[in-house]
A and B are shown apart, each in its own frame.
Chain A
Amino acid sequence: MHYRRPGLDRLSHALLALCCLLFLLPVWLAFTASTHTLDALYSQTASLWFGEAGWGNYRHLLSGSFGGLGTDVLTLLINSTIMALGIAIGKIAISVLAAYAIVFFRFPFRRLCFWLIFITLMLPVEVRILPTFEVVADLGLLDSYAGLILPLIASATATFLMRQFFLTVPPELVEAARIDGAGPWRFLRDILLPLSKTNLAALFVIMFLYGWNQYLWPLLITNDADYLTIVVSLKRLLTSADGLVPWQNVTATAILAMLPPVAVILLMQRYFVKGLVDSEK
């Protein structure tokens, strides 16, 4: 019959496998390059296999400060982790509370609050960097974790998603909880949050990636190397005094910078896909 065509299926498999490999290629090359010495790298075009430096570059990067960074890569990784976790957890916490208020309560100016929050969906931080920078400077938050985190949780994506989910909770459930004498906090803690577990996990993945991968904002407000994040450090590593890019360090740092977010997305793929596709509705 016309519907299934084994030939086409085999062609699809072949093309898919090829594309998977092609997508992996840039990472593979960076990974092999990170195990070469600088001299070995500059004596040939990029090698497809590992070099003799082994884990030496990584050990060197993680333990001592180098290359005009003024800090070691371990500190950068810790800063990135604090920033990503702070953004993910902070954003989820304030959005769950706000969405809970908007869906389950009636209060004056409710619509106004709704719009004040949702208008932020339209303008990402990149559009208003300068004034935001000045506000953060006025508050004395430059070179601090609070300065890295707070301005980035001022957006409504998570609130919007939580609101969508709360709207699907059957009213009978709330009614039953109330008849049983549960107050608003009890209802939130014992019924609503356990129900939202999957959505919270999905949000966590998306927000963790968002926080980890931030570039412009941390670039602006960190001068002090102690608050630098690993993603931002890459550009400083690329510039070198003698004109030779220290590619063995740059590729090793790039690999370290992508490991945590890639691990999160692979381990929590189910939630991530659900969260992403649900956000469309």
Chain B
Amino acid sequence: MSAPFQRHRLTPWVLMAPQLGIVLVFFFWPALQAIEQAFYVEDAFGLSREFAGLANFKAVLSDPTYYQALGTTLVFSLAVALGAMSIALLLAVMADRVIRGARVYRTLLVWPYAVAPAVAGVLWLFLFDPTLGLISSLLGNMGIDWDHKLNGAQALALVIMASVWKQMSYNFVFFLAALQALPKSLLEAAAIDRAGPWRRFWTITFPLLSPTSFFLLVMNSVYAFFETFGTIDTVTSGGPGGATTTLVYKVYQDGFVGQDMGSSAAQSVLLMALVGGLTWFQFRYVERKVQY
């Protein structure tokens, strides 16, 4: 578009000023500070610090608990993304199929999106409370001892379930919208050729949904990476024994609880590089291979 308001020189800067100011002060300044701090070692009281080169990074990368957190993050993100997406896809396909009532079902399924991750954590914590939880007592009757305060695998499972419960609705909205936008003629043609619903789904619907699925995979991973902090903190505080400590939780724990600023900053920088790299990779390579 040709620029409509060309003679106004000052106006665009007035318009940009609030956003630019906030971004510079609360984004670039801290981000640069994190990068700078990652190269310094501070004493315990924060009184003095000295240049340490790559020492902070070396310390982080030779720390076994960092790799444990990396592993936990991968398992957690994959489980949340796959769990939330497959349930959502199943429900969306059914809601799309019944035609009448699809909107009612959407209303009944969309609301968990509005629930805060920390609140979702509390709700599930109550279901699995070792003394009075409903599901933990049902499991007890089946001979399974539930105690997420001692059992790391159970703690991780609990955090995953709470996150899937909340994230499902987001995926459902997208899958339902994508399904309703599919060209009906293709599906009708396949039906005339006597392809059953199962076959129609796997040979037509599923491939046509791949852009949406790919987008959702990215969004769900981002959600599992960052926004589940509240769930983890209320349900397990990263425990037991670091079994639910993700990379983001570790940045918080080492920096704010452990007061190790250099290490926390180095972890922040590594995390920024990781997320930046993934974003780049996704745009560069993966998006092209998805069928449109």
Contacts and interface: CB of A to CB of B under 8 A. Distances in A.
B118 A234 contact: yes
A3 B191 contact: yes
Contacts of A100: 15
19 contacts: A19-B91, A23-B112, A24-B108, A29-B123, A42-B132, A95-B19, A101-B12, A104-B4, A105-B15, A129-B255, A129-B268, A135-B29, A139-B25, A185-B11, A209-B114, A238-B122, A257-B116, A258-B114, A276-B170
Contact of B268 (A130, A174, A216): A130
B275 A127 contact: yes
Interface of B: prevailing SS: helix
Given A23-B112, A98-B18, A265-B114, 5 more contacts: A9-B98, A98-B15, A128-B272, A154-B23, A215-B233
Interface string B8-32: 1101110110111011111111110
A130 B15 contact: no
Interface residues of B, number: 99
Contacts, number: 292
A109 to B, nearest CB: 10
A272 B268 CA distance: 32
Contact of A209 (B25, B105, B107, B113): B113
A265 B109 contact: no
A30 B133 CA distance: 10
Given A94-B18, A107-B13, A130-B251, A45 B126 contact: no
Given A132-B30, A219-B233, A98 B20 contact: yes
Among B1, B107, B264, max chain A CB count under 10 A is at: B1
Contacts of B31: 123, 128, 131
A34 to B, nearest CB: 10
B66 interface: no
Among A24, A150, A247, max chain B CB count under 10 A is at: A247
Interface stretch (A59-67, A69-77, A114-122, A196-204): A114-122
B64 interface: no
Given A128-B272, A184-B11, A42 B131 contact: yes
B132 A44 contact: yes
Contacts of B23: 116-117, 120, 154, 156
Given A94-B22, A264-B114, A250 B122 contact: yes
A189 interface: no
9 closest A-B pairs by beta carbon, nearest first, are A215-B230, A131-B30, A213-B116, A106-B3, A101-B15, A98-B19, A12-B94, A105-B12, A261-B114
Interface in A24-82: 24-27, 29-30, 33, 41-42, 44-46
